[in-house]
């Protein structure tokens, strides 16, 4: 197992690689505090290779790795609002994110990304059940950029065509009224 500690504009989280060098499936538990040195809490886990949100976990999670394969998991502290889990640009999820901010007052996730011209760029965002995505937009060099959205459960996939210049993007959410 390898553990990459990430602290960047995309946030502070771990990218964990669990490799199975043997024939046959590997099944094991991944302990957040004992193996990764993380503080007690809830963690949102994204499977990078399968582009799948695995859920939120507290102390540990079960991991299965196929024969001669590697699972790459982004382990983020679970937020109570929408949060970025990964990008298609780099396995670390941090390489292309130049800025990232959750605007609590307006229930909006916004960021700025470096993309590759002509190459689709995807962001994977966890949307807790109490939030609903209402709109999304992106712009580069003050011109609108096409946005494609697919949501399955708590995972929202936002894809835009890569641009020559930085891309500013934002996703607006509706949340329950604050008490």
pLDDT higher than 70, residue 74: yes
Token readout for 107 is: 């229930």
Give residue-wise pLDDT tens across range 94-112.
Answer: 789 999 999 999 999 999 9
pLDDT given for residue 177 in this prediction: 63
pLDDT given for residue 172 in this prediction: 97
Q: What angle do CA 38, 39, 40 make, to 5 degrees?
A: 120
Q: What is the mean pLDDT of the chain?
A: 95
**3.20.20.60, 2.60.40.740, 3.40.50.1370, 1.10.3720.10: which CATH number matches 83-174?**
2.60.40.740
Fold that domain 2-77 belongs to in CATH? Immunoglobulin-like (2.60.40)
pLDDT given for residue 176 in this prediction: 67
């Amino acid at each position: 197992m390898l553990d990459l500690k990430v602290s960047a504009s995309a946030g502070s989280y771990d990218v964990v690689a669990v490799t199975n060098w043997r024939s046959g499936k590997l099944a094991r538990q991944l302990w957040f505090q004992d193996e990764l040195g993380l503080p007690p809490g809830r963690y949102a886990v994204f499977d990078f290779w399968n582009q799948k949100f695995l859920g939120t976990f507290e102390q540990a999670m079960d991991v299965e790795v196929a024969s001669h394969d590697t699972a790459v998991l982004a382990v983020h502290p679970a937020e109570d609002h929408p949060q970025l889990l990964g990008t298609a640009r780099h396995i670390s999820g941090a390489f292309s994110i130049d800025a990232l901010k959750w605007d609590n007052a307006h229930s909006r996730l916004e960021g700025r990304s470096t993309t590759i011209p002509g190459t689709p760029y995807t962001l994977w965002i966890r949307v807790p059940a109490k939030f609903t995505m209402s709109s999304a937009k992106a712009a580069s060099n003050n011109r609108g950029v096409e946005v494609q959205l697919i949501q399955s459960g708590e995972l929202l996939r936002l894809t835009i065509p890569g641009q020559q210049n930085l891309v500013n993007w934002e996703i607006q959410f509706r949340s329950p009224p604050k008490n």
